[in-house]
A and B are shown apart, each in its own frame.
Chain A
Amino acid sequence: SQTIHQWPATLVQPVGSPLSLECTVEGTSNPNLYWYRQAAGRGLQLLFYSVGIGQISSEVPQNLSASRPQDRQFILSSKKLLLSDSGFYLCAWRLWGSGSTDTQYFGPGTRLTVL
């Protein structure tokens, strides 16, 4: 069965510091991968998605960037964090192609607090 991991689980960072959040998926190949952010009291907002190694699409231009160095690894980064980057970050995966149910499955998330 497929599992998705995110780390760290929680992170407190000062304004202006760099950021690296990691997401890995096990038990599947060539998944589509997604980064979402959930601000307090709101639904999820898609930030980035990737349909393959090195392929990144941005939904919301901002202070963050994403990379996919390996098939099942997705990284969310920032060079300088802003207060507004605080939130709950969720990674998700989806099968692509035949057999896909168009369903996205989510990881446990990372709670980021920028002070």
Chain B
Amino acid sequence: AQTVTQSQPEMSVQEAETVTLSCTYDTSESDYYLFWYKQPPSRQMILVIRQEAYKQQNATENRFSVNFQKAAKSFSLKISDSQLGDAAMYFCAYNQGGSEKLVFGKGTKLTVNP
């Protein structure tokens, strides 16, 4: 079964600085998708960024980018120019192609200090 591991239960960053959240996953499949979701205090899960495994180019969305290392099964999220509104739980998730199931990591709590 696929697993997703987020080894940093908590991280903190100063406002305007850059932070990287780590995620590793375990799969024997070649067709899959990876996601980062943000869960602010309101607890609604918000999509941050998405990566298809067959694409070598790392996905970017404004201040958010990923470092996708397929051979190492690593999918880290970089947040540049951190803002107070970035404070939230961040979840890494894996979806095998053709499967309905999203497998989530346990999350990383990000604190942004003013």
* A interface, CB within 8 angstroms of B: 32, 34, 36, 38, 41-46, 49, 51, 57, 59, 88, 90, 92, 101-109, 111
Contacts and interface: CB of A to CB of B under 8 A. Distances in A.
Contacts of A107: 44
Interface residues of B, number: 21
Interface centre among B44, B45, B100, B104 (most CB of A within 10 A): B100
25 contacts: A32-B100, A34-B100, A34-B102, A38-B43, A41-B106, A42-B106, A43-B91, A43-B105, A43-B107, A44-B91, A46-B102, A49-B101, A90-B45, A102-B33, A102-B97, A103-B35, A104-B102, A106-B37, A106-B45, A106-B46, A107-B44, A108-B42, A108-B43, A108-B44, A111-B43
A62 to B, nearest CB: 16
B95 interface: yes
A-B pairs, top 9 by smallest CB distance, nearest first, are A43-B104, A106-B45, A49-B100, A44-B104, A108-B44, A43-B106, A102-B33, A46-B101, A109-B43
Nearest to A102: B33
Task: Determine chain A's interface SS by DSSP, over half rule.
Answer: strand
